């Protein structure tokens, strides 16, 4: 089964599972990217090495978070193909997501806290602010 034919089956399955329309749109775009880069190949031709080469090319232009989303999509579609017995093995299990940067939480500056205190209109608001 070629990738473009596979999409209709995959999309229907994910709609039944309750995936959001936004997620499905994002997945459709990622499949279009895959097809435009590799061609509308038969799913059985996509080996682990071919997938890794494709993802390596994408890593040059995508941020780690976007690349992680792309890898989750590839794993999801291959899991579907394997579970529906279109393939006998699932190569995508071995794909790992890139390490994400840890976000350091931002704290309020002292002047921001003063502005919040000034903006309190009731004693209750002031007490809640002080508590936080």
Same domain as 120, residue 64: no
Same domain as 9, residue 42: yes
Same domain as 122, residue 80: no
Same domain as 59, residue 22: yes
Domain that holds residue 80: 3-94
Q: How confident is the model at residue 101 (pLDDT cuts 50, 70, 90)?
A: confident
| Residue 20 φ/ψ, nearest 5 degrees | -75, 150
Same domain as 90, residue 106: no
| pLDDT the model gives residue 20 | 92
Same domain as 114, residue 72: no
Q: How far apart are CA 65 and CA 26, in angstroms?
A: 14
Average pLDDT of every residue of the chain: 87
Same domain as 52, residue 7: yes
Mean per-residue pLDDT for 41-46?
A: 86
Q: How far apart are CA 67 and CA 30, in angstroms?
A: 10
- What pTM did the predictor assign? 0.69
Q: How far apart are CA 54 and CA 77, in angstroms?
A: 15
Same domain as 129, residue 79: no
Same domain as 60, residue 19: yes
- Provide the domain count of the chain: 2
Q: Report the C-alpha dihedral over residues 94, 68, 39, 57, rounded to 10 degrees.
A: -90
| pLDDT the model gives residue 93 | 85
Buried b (16+ CB within 10 A) or exposed e, 86-110: ebeeebbeebeeeeeeeeeeeeeee
| pLDDT the model gives residue 108 | 80
Same domain as 106, residue 90: no
Same domain as 127, residue 70: no
Q: How confident is the model at residue 95 (pLDDT cuts 50, 70, 90)?
A: confident
Mean per-residue pLDDT for 46-62?
A: 88
Same domain as 58, residue 117: no
For every residue of 72-89, DSSP letters joined together read HHHHHHHHHHHHTTSSSS
Residue 73 is part of a domain; what is its CATH number?
1.10.150.130
| pLDDT the model gives residue 16 | 93
Q: How far apart are CA 63 and CA 55, in angstroms?
A: 12
């Amino acid at each position: 089964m070629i990738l473009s034919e596979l999409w209709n089956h995959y999309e229907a399955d994910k709609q039944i599972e309750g995936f959001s329309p936004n997620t499905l749109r994002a997945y459709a775009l990622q499949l279009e990217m895959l097809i435009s880069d590799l061609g509308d190949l038969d799913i059985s031709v996509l080996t682990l090495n071919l997938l890794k080469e494709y993802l390596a090319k994408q890593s040059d232009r995508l941020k780690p978070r976007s690349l992680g989303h792309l890898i989750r999509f590839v794993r999801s579609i291959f899991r579907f193909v394997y579970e529906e017995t279109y393939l006998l093995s699932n190569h995508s299990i071995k794909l790992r997501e890139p390490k994400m940067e840890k976000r350091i939480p931002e704290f309020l500056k002292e002047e921001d806290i003063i502005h919040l205190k000034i903006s309190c209109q009731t004693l209750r608001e002031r007490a809640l602010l002080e508590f936080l």
